[in-house]
A = this chain, B = another copy of it.
Amino acid sequence: VTDLAAALFTTPAMAAVFSAEARVRRMLDFEAALARAQARAGVIPAGAAAAIGTACRVERLDLGAIAREAAVVGTPVVPLARMLGDLVGGEARRYVHWGATSQDAIDTGMVLQARDGLELLEEGLLGIAATGAVLAERHRATPMAGRTLLQHALPITFGLKAARWLALATRQVGRLRQLRPRVLVVQLGGAAGTLASLGSDGPSVMALLAEELGLAAPELPWHAERDRIGELAAALGVVAGGMAKIAGDLVLLAQTEVGEVAEAAVEGKGGSSALPQKRNPVDATMALAAARLAIGQVPTVLGAMAQEHERAAGAWQAEWAAVPDLFRFTAGAVEGVRRALEGLEVDADRMRRNLDASGGLILAESLATALAQRVGRPEAQRIVRDVCDRVRRDGADLTAAALADERVAALLTPDAIGRALDPLAYLGAADAFVDRALAAHREILGTVPADR
């Protein structure tokens, strides 16, 4: 059991992708593919490649010993390569890790983990989008209060709010897809980025290695130019930030005084050790925590881009912890939002009651717009501000106060006032925007990343 926190802020699937075992397995994938690529290029015997491939099984390595030795030598690849050599044995042993450097194995391994991680994130985001699309469609006519600076502003629909979440998730998917060709790139440079020990075969081995692993080949090794890792980290930070937006909205909507949504009731979920009546928005809360933790890794990775010469002392190594944590926590944020949205209880009646609770003040702009067509915007705003003051002072509602105001009455018929103060009649393009978000979602579902 790792620390409790690990159980709360990630998913088992992402934890598996970035486990100690997976890290070693992915480095072994590199070693095996490198041997195959070199065999294809005629650099090493085909038999050696086969023997190496056979030995590259994580079950056969002592992970604890690798970790202990890594702490002395400063890299896990020195013990890994030696143990692998021992497993391969015979003539083939000499071709283990041929021409490569530690960083080639570590970086390519991490890129392979990142590819798996990106798939998981995309899947989670598509799950959010799917639920978002259902909510957007179902609630396109459910009016609710739009809130700016947490104050009632104008009516919107819950469908529009869900459509914005949907559009956000859809854009995130698109964003993660488009960076794949730039980021999912093999690393192979040898000790100083020249592939010197491969003589003139370096570039062709690099190309074949990329092919073997289904990754792109870079123009040249990138041991100390970490813009790809920076871009990857930044993209995950953007995903996490987006999750925090949705989760934050859910927590606010679930407030006792607002009560417009609640996370699906699950036995034991959201309870309190002290309060029997509590039903906490647990999934959204965990998403918010995970998103904070994810974003916190981004500057670490960006700050670590200043890597010295041909390999860095410290900045590169910091990636070994920061990048996995970034994936773990981003997955936790995505999963928290996915779960919170799935089976979300939406209280349309409460939305309507909240909308009406301010006595129509939320439609002040609508009234002002109706008046503005007669007297211009500034004068209209002055009139409506006065009427609103009266509503607040006297506790009346806006319809009554508007009907009673001489200036309003002189400009608008009672019917026109009624229309102006009907929330369903003042939703502008809400419906059209829902359609546009749904269309964008359908479009992304119909496309597949270029590299798949």
Type the 1/0 row for A283-301, where 1 means its CB is closer than 8 Å to any CB of B.
0111111111101111110
List CB contacts (< 8 Å) of A386-405 with chain B: 388, 391
Do A219 and B95 form a contact, CB below 8 Å, given A68-B7, A273-B78?
Answer: no
A124 sits at the interface (CB 8 A): no
How many chain A residues touch the partner (CB < 8 A)? 200
Say whether B8 contacts A241, CB under 8 Å: no
- A5: which B residues are within 8 A, CB to CB? 320-321, 324
The answer to whether B192 and A155 touch across the interface, beta carbons within 8 angstroms, is yes
CB distance from A16 to the nearest CB of B (A): 11
Is the pair B298, A313 in contact by a Cβ cutoff of 8 Å? no
* CB pairs A–B below 8 angstroms (16 shown): A1-B64, A8-B320, A73-B271, A82-B378, A101-B272, A146-B193, A152-B277, A164-B193, A178-B178, A194-B429, A249-B308, A255-B257, A276-B381, A286-B314, A292-B300, A295-B300
Residues on the B chain within 8 Å of A354, using CB: 257
Interface of A is mostly: helix
Which residues of B sit under 8 angstroms from A306, Cβ to Cβ? 241, 244-245, 247-248, 288, 291
Per-residue interface assignment for chain A, residues 19 to 51, with 1 indicating a CB less than 8 Å from any chain B CB and 0 otherwise: 111011000000000000000000000000000
Q: Which residues on B sit within 8 Å (CB–CB) of A281?
A: 149-151, 313
A369 interface residue per 8 A CB criterion:
yes
Tell me whether A220 and B77 are in contact (CB under 8 A): no
Given contacts A101-B148, A149-B285, A231-B238, 17 further A-B pairs with CB under 8 A are A94-B380, A148-B223, A149-B281, A153-B191, A154-B192, A168-B225, A198-B429, A200-B428, A200-B429, A221-B433, A227-B241, A231-B235, A248-B306, A248-B307, A284-B314, A293-B321, A325-B325
Q: Is A448 an interface residue (CB 8 A)?
A: no
Residue numbers in B under 8 Å from A198 (CB-CB): 428-429
